[in-house]
């Protein structure tokens, strides 16, 4: 069968069974959209993780004047206490990989750069503590650091920046799992709908199929138009799913990223990275399901 | 062209076989009528020739090919050598006369140039020149059957099978259709036609193979429909 005739057959078939084709497109689009959302949620975790895990640090905040923590005694950390903490950190190598002392001036400067909101403009320098920013050889050793420095003289608090990200990661994990569960459910619908559609279309075109068979058409010549129609419908569905992902990131995530700038958010390149996998899954499902349905319902 | 050697065909667990130990030969270029009551096995025989069914027993050879043990992927090759005409025409209602005939050639992957020539010749052969653009519903029964015959012969088959081709036609049109089949036979095509129509069988005086309950009860050269039984 010549390719042009094959395409013509598929196009005529799609026109004649437009409602069935549209239903395949919609169900495929929804299932692949959920699949894509799952992939994007996973990428969001990796994106945020990748950024922070490289820069992970335990922050040992030092006492400021009027600190309420018992270890501070409402006094700012003395130079002796600061030196002592620094010396202790040096002793903890190689657990401690890198130590940077951030003075109160530097901390205040960074605070002003990061928090440009007018509500923070009147924050006095004295309210921003100096800190030791510590990079660990193994981020899991946070507990060791916490035990060693929490409550030590001159130390106001010991914090793991990863703890801030944990809630985000938990939300993303749930989002990914829910999205993939829904994608799985919708894919089952896609499989059943495609199979039923092919069965119905094969029945409605039994005369054409019968003629093809009697005149000696090959198996491919009989089955290819059906398969091509399914694949075209699935491809349109996959296109709609990618469009949905694009819209979500363009109008949803970008807005979030503008509001919450503590870490990096996924962006358009991430959509283009998951798009081929989304389309590929649609194609594989379309081809496999139509092939199985054709073997079962179209006699050659 | 067609060789049946002790062929039986049994459907499911039915007691009575549809064909019962049939042995016959139809030679190249022959025209034969297959007659008999409904359920006598005429259609089963045609389906076996077309390899739509496999025999339960015996050997079938068609156009030099051993059909009985033929692999599934070799069946289309056999069918390309066979043209088939049905009682109910089986035209595609949304395609024109030209497109109905051309459809076969497109499906078989012929180039457009070859298709145009073959379809024109085929329509000329069946006397439908000038009707190429008509739709099936605009044609009479006889004209529709001519389109179906044009579609069957457009690929130039060596064997033409006709399953009650005049079953839906009036006597005059039936005779026209059969004489058309006779013309095609005159060009060297082997024709095997299953029919109930005694008038046309009696008029053409070709070979008559009569089936009853799946068995050949009469095989007569230049035979008539219901007489001269052994």
Q: What is the pLDDT of residue A54?
A: 59
pLDDT in tens, B155-191: 999 999 999 999 888 888 999 999 999 999 999 999 9
- Which of chain B's residues have a Cβ under 8 Å away from the Cβ of A5? 106
Interface check for B188 against chain A (CB to CB < 8 A): the answer is: no
Distance from CA of B230 to the nearest CA of A (A): 35
**Residue showing tokens 């923590």:** A69
Distance from CA of A5 to the nearest CA of B (A): 7
Mean pLDDT in residue range A206-229: 87
Interface check for B106 against chain A (CB to CB < 8 A): the answer is: yes
B12: left (phi over 0), alpha (psi -120 to 50) or beta: left
Do residue B92 and residue A211 have CB atoms under 8 angstroms apart?
yes
Measured between alpha carbons, how far is A67 from A81 in angstroms, rounded to an integer? 15
Distance from CA of B129 to the nearest CA of A (A): 23
Do residue A216 and residue B82 have CB atoms under 8 angstroms apart?
yes
The residues in B 58-87 lying below 8 A from A, measured between CB atoms, are 73, 75-82, 84
Q: What is the pLDDT of residue B160?
A: 94
Contact A184, A37 (CB under 8 A): no
Give the model's confidence band at A52: pLDDT under 50 very low, under 70 low, under 90 confident, else very high.
very low
Question: Residue A292 burial by CB count (10 A; 0-12/13-18/19+): exposed, middle or buried?
Answer: middle
User: Of A5, A6, A15, A215, which to mutate for an interface test with B (greatest number of B Cβ within 10 Å)?
Assistant: A215
ipTM: 0.84
- Which of chain A's residues have a Cβ under 8 Å away from the Cβ of B82? 216
Give the model's confidence band at A242: pLDDT under 50 very low, under 70 low, under 90 confident, else very high.
very high
* Closest to A103 (Cα-Cα) out of A122, A76, A137, A142: A76
Do residue B108 and residue A211 have CB atoms under 8 angstroms apart?
no
Mean pLDDT of chain A: 84
The residues in A 215-244 lying below 8 A from B, measured between CB atoms, are 215-219, 221
Mean pLDDT in residue range B201-216: 89
% of chain A residues with pLDDT over 70: 91
Distance from CA of A22 to the nearest CA of B (A): 22
Q: What is the pLDDT of residue B230?
A: 39
Do residue A217 and residue B78 have CB atoms under 8 angstroms apart?
no
Contact B42, B34 (CB under 8 A): yes
User: Of A17, A214, A225, which to mutate for an interface test with B (greatest number of B Cβ within 10 Å)?
Assistant: A214
By Cβ distance, the residue of B50, B92, B106 closest to A214 is B50
Q: What is the pLDDT of residue B199?
A: 84
Other Cβ atoms closer than 10 A to B91: 24
Distance from CA of A285 to the nearest CA of B (A): 26
Do residue A217 and residue B108 have CB atoms under 8 angstroms apart?
yes
**Residue showing tokens 């094959």:** A6
Give the model's confidence band at A239: pLDDT under 50 very low, under 70 low, under 90 confident, else very high.
very high
Q: What is the pLDDT of residue A141?
A: 81
Give the model's confidence band at B100: pLDDT under 50 very low, under 70 low, under 90 confident, else very high.
very high
Measured between alpha carbons, how far is A162 from A171 in angstroms, rounded to an integer? 15
Token pair for residue A194?
């495609």
Q: What is the pLDDT of residue A201?
A: 85
Do residue A214 and residue B84 have CB atoms under 8 angstroms apart?
yes
Give the model's confidence band at A51: pLDDT under 50 very low, under 70 low, under 90 confident, else very high.
very low
Respond yes or no on whether the N-terminal peptide bond of residue A94 is cis (omega within 30° of 0).
yes
Q: What is the pLDDT of residue B149?
A: 95
Token pair for residue B189?
């095509």
User: Of A15, A206, A216, which to mutate for an interface test with B (greatest number of B Cβ within 10 Å)?
Assistant: A216
Measured between alpha carbons, how far is B76 from A215 in angstroms, rounded to an integer? 8
pTM given for the model: 0.70
Do residue A1 and residue B79 have CB atoms under 8 angstroms apart?
no
Mean pLDDT in residue range A282-297: 87
Measured between alpha carbons, how far is A83 from B137 in angstroms, rounded to an integer? 101
């Amino acid at each position: 069968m010549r390719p042009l005739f094959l395409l013509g057959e598929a196009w005529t078939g799609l026109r004649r069974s437009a409602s069935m084709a549209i239903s395949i497109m919609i169900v495929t689009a929804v299932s692949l959209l959920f699949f894509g959302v799952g992939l994007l949620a996973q990428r969001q975790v990796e994106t945020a993780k990748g950024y922070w895990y490289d820069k992970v640090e335990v922050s040992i905040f030092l006492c400021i004047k009027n600190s309420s923590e018992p270890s501070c005694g409402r006094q700012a950390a003395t130079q002796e206490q600061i030196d002592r903490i620094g010396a202790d950190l040096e002793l903890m190598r190689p657990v401690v990989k890198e130590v940077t002392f951030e003075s109160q001036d530097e901390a205040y400067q960074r605070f002003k750069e990061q928090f440009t909101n007018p509500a923070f403009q009147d924050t006095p320098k004295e309210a921003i503590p100096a800190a030791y920013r510590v990079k660990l050889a193994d981020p899991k050793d946070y507990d060791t650091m916490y035990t060693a420095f929490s409550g030590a003289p001159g130390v106001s608090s010991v914090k793991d920046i990863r703890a801030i990200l944990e809630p985000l990661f938990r939300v993303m994990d749930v989002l990914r799992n829910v999205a993939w569960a829904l994608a799985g459910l919708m894919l089952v619908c896609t499989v059943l709908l495609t199979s039923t559609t092919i069965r119905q279309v094969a029945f409605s075109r039994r005369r054409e199929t019968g003629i093809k068979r009697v005149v000696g058409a090959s198996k491919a010549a009989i089955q290819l138009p059906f398969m091509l129609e399914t694949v075209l419908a699935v491809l349109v569905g996959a296109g709609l799913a990618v469009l949905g992902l694009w819209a979500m990131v363009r109008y949803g995530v970008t807005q979030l990223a503008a509001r919450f700038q503590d870490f990096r958010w996924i962006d358009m390149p991430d959509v283009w990275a998951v798009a081929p996998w989304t389309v590929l899954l649609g194609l594989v499902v379309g081809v496999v399901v139509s092939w199985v349905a054709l073997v079962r319902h179209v006699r050659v | 062209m067609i060789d049946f050697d002790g062929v039986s065909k049994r459907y499911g667990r039915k007691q009575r076989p549809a064909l019962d130990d049939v042995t016959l030969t139809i030679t190249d270029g022959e025209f034969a009528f297959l007659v008999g009551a409904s359920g006598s096995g005429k259609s089963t025989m045609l389906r076996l020739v077309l390899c739509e069914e496999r025999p339960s027993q015996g050997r079938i050879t068609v156009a030099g090919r051993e059909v009985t043990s033929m692999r599934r992927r070799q069946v289309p090759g056999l069918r390309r050598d066979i043209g088939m005409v049905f009682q109910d025409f089986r035209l595609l209602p949304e395609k024109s006369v030209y497109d109905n005939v051309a459809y076969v050639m497109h499906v078989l992957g012929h180039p457009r140039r070859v298709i145009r020539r073959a379809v024109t010749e085929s329509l000329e052969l069946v006397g439908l020149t000038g009707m190429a653009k008509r739709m099936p519903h605009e044609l009479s029964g006889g004209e529709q059957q001519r389109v179906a015959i044009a579609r069957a012969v457009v690929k130039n088959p060596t064997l033409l099978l006709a399953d009650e081709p005049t079953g839906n036609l009036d006597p005059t049109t039936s005779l026209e259709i059969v004489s058309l089949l006779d013309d095609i036979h005159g060009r060297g095509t082997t024709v095997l036609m299953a029919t109930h129509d005694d008038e046309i069988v009696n008029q053409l005086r070709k070979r008559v193979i009569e089936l009853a309950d799946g068995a050949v009860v009469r095989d007569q050269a230049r035979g008539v429909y219901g007489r001269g039984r052994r």
